Amino acid sequence: MLILGIDTSCDDTGVGVVELTDAGQVRVRANRVWSQAIHATYGGVMPELASREHVERIDAVLEDALNEAGVRVADLGAVAATNGPGLMGALLVGLSYGKGLAQGLSVPFYAAHHLEGHIYAAASEADLRAPYLALVVSGGHTHLFDVPREGAYVLVGATRDDAAGEAFDKVARLCGLGYPGGPAISAAAERGNPDAVPLKEPLQGQSGFEFSFSGLKTAALLATQRGVNPEDLAASFERTVVRSLVKTTVRAAEHHGRRTVVVSGGVAANRALRAAFAATGLNVVFPGKGLNTDNGAMIALAGAAAIRAGRAPSDLSAGATAYAP
Ligand code: KG4
Ligand code: ZN
């Protein structure tokens, strides 16, 4: 069965195609993302402009995805689309489009939670089966979930303030590096000396599993005011964020008795983070290339998991939710 996935939760128009075999194996057949450049001039995402651009682009992105998969729209057996959380207007574009397509084709429709999509992005790399622990680290989230069984998500910890990706973006701006900040910090960090600008690891000694990055951001601001080398600051910042994420996740995995850990979301593309997790000895699964940041294939993978688990299709009357806990 071929499942189409659509994500228009923020400023990327993502459409992907996933194949679900009778044996329950999944394979990503296509993953096309149109990243809206229009927001760069404003230094942040402009919600109304995002919605309009989704409307303008979604037909072309769908066509690209179908071409990449080598299939026709009539071959689709199900459609999945993100219904939250995200920007309301932006979400509605992909959600309405997906529902319309499903109804026109007379195939089942599955509404997917954006974070569930990020987690299932890892199913492109391994046969992902509960139980496992999942760390979602993106521009909007730093959330640690225990997944005791398929489709059940128990929040174990989250950030108290900024998301990790948001901190990367803000510190990149302080260092005079480009946007998005994650890849820019990562590249600068390779040339810097992390010991030159000591930064305190957040929430050291906590018994819980929370994160906090706003203090690091302030420390980075003070460091730039002292005139430190931006590459040294980038290296120290990256190392400190990575240590915090890895240590807390490893403690949570031990506490919940989980051996498998999914690390996903935009920040999961970070090389230093991947290397540090690989050294933990846990079975760490990352999404494949192009599946870390927002995309449609991850939503198709979440749809495939719902179908595989025998979940009923979603009601076409269900709306979008900007804030979906
Ligand atoms: O998942 P995503 O595309 O969007 C949200 O749902 O938020 O994540 C985008 C975030 C941005 O903050 C970006 O700076 C960060 O992911 N990011 C990275 C890297 N690539 C993207 N952070 C650290 N290292 C990277 N290589
Ligand atoms: Zn996301």
- Provide the domain limits for residue 230: 129-285
The tens digit of pLDDT for each residue in 78-103 reads 999 999 999 999 999 999 999 999 99
The model's pTM: 0.95
Q: Is 240 in the pocket of ligand 1 (CB under 6 A)?
A: no
Are 251 and 156 found together in one domain? yes
Are 219 and 236 found together in one domain? yes
Are 59 and 197 found together in one domain? no
Q: Can you give the pLDDT at residue 325? A: 73
From the list 243, 279, 249, 252, the residue with the least C-alpha distance to 264 is: 249
Residue 320 burial (CB count, 10 A) = 24
Q: How remote is the CA of residue 264 from the centroid of ligand 1, in Å? A: 10
Predicted confidence band of residue 41 (pLDDT cuts 50, 70, 90): confident
Provide the number of structural domains found in the chain.
2
pLDDT average, residue stretch 101-108: 98
Rounded mean pLDDT of the chain?
96
Q: Can you give the pLDDT at residue 179? A: 75
Q: How remote is the CA of residue 275 from the centroid of ligand 1, in Å? A: 17
Are 142 and 226 found together in one domain? yes
Are 30 and 93 found together in one domain? yes
Are 264 and 197 found together in one domain? yes
| Pocket mutation for ligand 1, best pick of 10, 185, 286, 293 (most atoms within 8 Å of C-beta) | 293
Q: Can you give the pLDDT at residue 180? A: 78
User: Atom 23 of ligand 1 has which residue's CA nearest to it?
Assistant: 182
pLDDT score of 43 more than 90? no
Are 173 and 192 found together in one domain? yes
Better-predicted residue by pLDDT, 37 or 260: 260
Looking at residue 159, the DSSP 8-state letter turns out to be B
C-beta separation of 97 from 80 below 8 A: no
Q: At residue 82, what are phi and psi to the nearest 5 degrees?
A: -70, 130
pLDDT score of 11 more than 80? yes
Residue 16 lies in a domain: yes
Full DSSP string of 185-221: HHHHHTTS-GGGS--PPTTTT-SS--B--HHHHHHHH
Residue 320 lies in a domain: no
Q: How remote is the CA of residue 126 from the centroid of ligand 1, in Å? A: 22
What CATH code is carried by the domain that includes residue 233? Answer: 3.30.420.40
Q: Can you give the pLDDT at residue 38? A: 85
Q: How remote is the CA of residue 86 from the centroid of ligand 2, in Å? A: 9
Are 135 and 271 found together in one domain? yes
Q: Is 165 in the pocket of ligand 1 (CB under 6 A)?
A: yes
What contacts 243, CB < 8 A, 6 or more positions away?
A: 201, 276
Are 118 and 133 found together in one domain? no
Which residues does the annotation place in the binding site for Fe cation? Answer: 114, 118, 294
Centroid of chain to Cα 244: 19
Q: Is 169 in the pocket of ligand 1 (CB under 6 A)?
A: yes
Are 139 and 184 found together in one domain? yes
The tens digit of pLDDT for each residue in 179-213 reads 779 999 999 999 999 999 999 999 999 999 999 99
The tens digit of pLDDT for each residue in 241-253 reads 999 999 999 999 9
Is residue 60 classed as helix, strand or coil in its secondary structure?
helix
